[in-house]
A and B are shown apart, each in its own frame.
Chain A
Amino acid sequence: MSKQTAVFLLLLFNINFAQSNVNPDISLIGTFNTTTNFNEGSPYKGKINFEDPSLEMFINGYLNPYAKASANIAYHEGSFAAEEIYFEILRGLPLDMQLKGGKHLLGFGKINTVHGHAWPFTERPLAHRIYFGEEGLNDIGFNLSFILPTENFFSSFDIGLYKGDSFRGIGGHEHGQEEIHEDEIHEGEEAHEEFELNETNSPVISARLGAFFGLSDYSNLEIGLNGAAGTLGKAGLDNGLIKNVNFIYGGIDFKYKYKPDTYKSLTIQTEALLNHRDIINELEGAEHFVLGDAINTYGGFIFFDYQFNKVFSFGLKYDFTYGIIGSERGINSLANDAGNKTSGISGWFGYYPVEETLAIRIGAERLMFDYEDGTIRDDETMFKMQMIFSLGPHKAHPF
């Protein structure tokens, strides 16, 4: 048993035995994934891959009548990490504003703030993997939330300021790693400006405008507009000027749910994201970088999930994104990739025998790749069985 595991178990043991009415709520979510595929070159081709179980421990409670605090400690692939640590001031602020501060999932679209165990599907949407990273947009900062004075429907406006590491980790470079020295600068590049990428402390701004409409007693609709902007790094140009390497994300999301009774429901949900960013290019045969033209790329997904007989659900999802899923982070890959594309179709079947306490999902995802240079790559299909347990109090699901 590793030292980290021992500390975690000790912490959990102590918390459990110290429970009283004034202690926070504690819940554990365990996830076991088993996958297989039939893809050429895969080490698991035709074999069953039992992935290490992952665990999330949620702790939350009121600090006082006005504020709550929450933490999500995650164990994944042998290590522990603080996925989320934040406080929320829920009431008592001017303009009925709510303030959320700390490390948390950003409300960019609907899916990003929902933890994976609560999704109906088994795989993070492709566009999120490219533009948000494998763990989603999760950053340090604060968010202010306002309810707008619309009388007949609920609408809200959120604006946040974040450190921006989760954005930079996707398409930018590790700080200070890509420094180019003056003697490496090439001349005669009219279309491009040469630079070196340096660390930046510029925060990222993220905002969301949401509107919720009750269409009937049984059906509801929510629409959101999202935006984020910031600087990925600073570039030292050959003329001595410093130039910001900027990005802007724009997004729209839509969720419709029809739930006539406890036993069945239909959810249709989609998100689309537009990525505008300055990119840097590597000159062929040289070990330095040039500032290229800004790129405009996009991605998104649409899915439906149909719940029937209370305990079963099935659904289908179509994904599209610029960038190649599974690529290593680099200057021409993931969110910086304006030439290659990945699309995917996935389907799932879910079984929820007793409410939220257990979930068993079987899913398949087929990925199709489209390379700008004509490279032919076979489609890839993965099958996954996911088993999730939820121990402890669980909240009612938000729409």
Chain B
Amino acid sequence: MDKEKIKMKNILVILLLLVFTSMNFGQVKVVATTSVIYDLVKEIGKDKVEADYICRGDQDPHYVEILPSYMLKLRKAELFFKIGLGLEIWAQQLIDGSRNDNLKIIDLSNGIEKKEIPAGKVDASQGDIHPYGNPHYWLDPYNAKIMAAEILEALLAKSPENSEYFKKNYQNYISTLDKKLIEWNSKMKKAEGRSIVFFHASWIYFAERYGLKISGYVEPKPGIPPTPSHNAELYNIIKKSGANVIVMENYYSDKAPNQIASQTGIKVIKVPIAVFGMEGIDSYIKMMDYIINNISGNL
């Protein structure tokens, strides 16, 4: 009888342990629209957050299909971080589909100094213009510090009991980032004033940070696929400006850039602009390392 009781007790203890270990005590449940935000959240929240993201690193964040599994991710989330400025037009459908009444939505563009805010009337003749400004601000690594500060603030508000932990992680990350900024500044110093061609209008924040001159884009207008007439125009621009590199996001087809390269001798560089956008790119710092090493090494 005693043996039976002890056996039952042990089973109960094991079951309780299993239940407790499977529960994420004190973790803030976070979903981010992009893997860049996800990485920053993980750096600050570490094991006190349960984080996930929607848009794959190798996926164009402008176009995300509405999958019910994404709604499931948002269903139990407490915080939802987004880039904002109209990048994630799909986000609201996911929020509505999740039916999550307690979801707090944080737009990380709030503290960003926006660029390319169109003046006057915006319409589709200008391509995929973002009326509130260019949303690709995370490609300026100084903006990552602003994003991290916003994330910290949201985590502190959600989980004040972990404030010291979050603040310490944030400081550590900012300190690492500051060191990398010095390194990246140094690498990009030689590129200052050089002409460059980009595929899509994602790079204004990066280019202005490092003093690059954008000679042109492979897309005739933002989001509009390359055309032969625009390619011909670009040949002349490249020759006149002396640009020697086309930088493009690795989720776009390199067919048109390669055609231009074969005519002009310009070099095509494909880079990820999100975490997990390429094998081995598993953090924002590694992503920026890859971008800066490739651009500075080829200009």
Contacts and interface: CB of A to CB of B under 8 A. Distances in A.
Given A261-B251, A311-B225, A396-B90, A214 B67 contact: yes
A212 B66 contact: no
Given A261-B251, A310-B253, A156 B90 contact: no
B99 A98 contact: yes
A259 B96 CA distance: 24
Contacts of A393: 89
Interface string A82-103: 0000000011100011100000
B69 A261 contact: no
Contacts of A353: 225
Contacts of A147: 71-72, 75, 99
Contacts of B242: none
Contacts of A327: none
A262 B99 contact: no
A170 to B, nearest CB: 30
Contacts of B224: 354
A399 B71 contact: no
B157 interface: no
For the complex, would chain A's binding face be called helix, strand, loop or mixed by DSSP majority? loop
A98 B97 CA distance: 9
Nearest to B67: A399
A91 B99 contact: yes
Contacts of A153: 69, 72
Interface residues of A, number: 33
Contacts of B253: 263, 310
Contacts of B101: 91-92, 96
Interface in A205-230: 210, 212, 214, 217, 220, 222
B282 interface: no
Contacts of A355: 63, 223
Contacts of A3: none
A398 B225 contact: no
A393 B223 CA distance: 15
Contacts of B89: 393, 395-396
Interface in B34-93: 56, 58-60, 63-69, 71-72, 75, 89-90, 93
Nearest to B127: A354
For the complex, would chain B's binding face be called helix, strand, loop or mixed by DSSP majority? loop
A124 interface: no
Contacts of A98: 99
Given A91-B99, A311-B225, A262 B68 contact: no
Nearest to B253: A263
A147 B101 CA distance: 14
Counting chain B residues whose Cβ lies within 8 A of the other chain, the interface size class is: 20 to 34
A212 B67 contact: yes
Contact of B65 (A217, A259, A263): A259
A212 B68 contact: yes
A395 B93 contact: yes
A262 to B, nearest CB: 5
A215 to B, nearest CB: 10
Contacts of B223: 354-355
A92 B251 CA distance: 38
A357 interface: yes
A96 B67 contact: no
Given A310-B253, A354-B224, A398-B93, A91 B66 contact: no
A262 B63 contact: yes
A398 B69 CA distance: 11
Contacts of A97: 99
A398 B65 CA distance: 6
Interface in A356-399: 357, 393, 395-399
B67 A90 contact: no
A119 interface: no
A220 B71 CA distance: 14
Contacts of B159: none
B258 interface: no
B14 to A, nearest CB: 21
Contact of A396 (B58, B59, B65, B75): B65
A149 to B, nearest CB: 10
Interface string B251-276: 11100000000000000000000000
Contacts of B119: none
Contact of A398 (B60, B66, B72, B252): B66
Contacts of B93: 395-396, 398
Nearest to B66: A398
A91 B68 contact: no
A357 B252 CA distance: 20
A117 interface: no
A262 B124 contact: no
Contacts of A222: 68
A156 B225 CA distance: 38
B143 interface: no
A154 interface: yes
Interface in B193-247: 223-225
B65 A397 contact: yes
Nearest to A93: B99
Contacts of A276: none
Contact of A262 (B72, B100, B251): B251
B33 to A, nearest CB: 12
A388 B56 CA distance: 31
Closest 6 CB pairs of A and B: A396-B90, A154-B68, A212-B68, A398-B66, A96-B99, A91-B101
13 contacts: A90-B96, A90-B99, A91-B100, A147-B99, A154-B72, A262-B251, A354-B224, A357-B124, A395-B66, A396-B64, A396-B66, A397-B66, A399-B68
Interface of A: 68, 90-92, 96-98, 147, 153-154, 156, 210, 212, 214, 217, 220, 222, 259, 261-263, 310-311, 353-355, 357, 393, 395-399
Given A68-B96, A397-B65, A397-B66, 20 more contacts: A91-B96, A92-B101, A96-B75, A96-B99, A96-B100, A147-B72, A153-B69, A153-B72, A154-B72, A220-B69, A222-B68, A261-B251, A262-B251, A311-B225, A357-B124, A396-B89, A396-B93, A399-B65, A399-B66, A399-B67
Interface of B: 56, 58-60, 63-69, 71-72, 75, 89-90, 93, 96, 99-101, 124, 223-225, 251-253
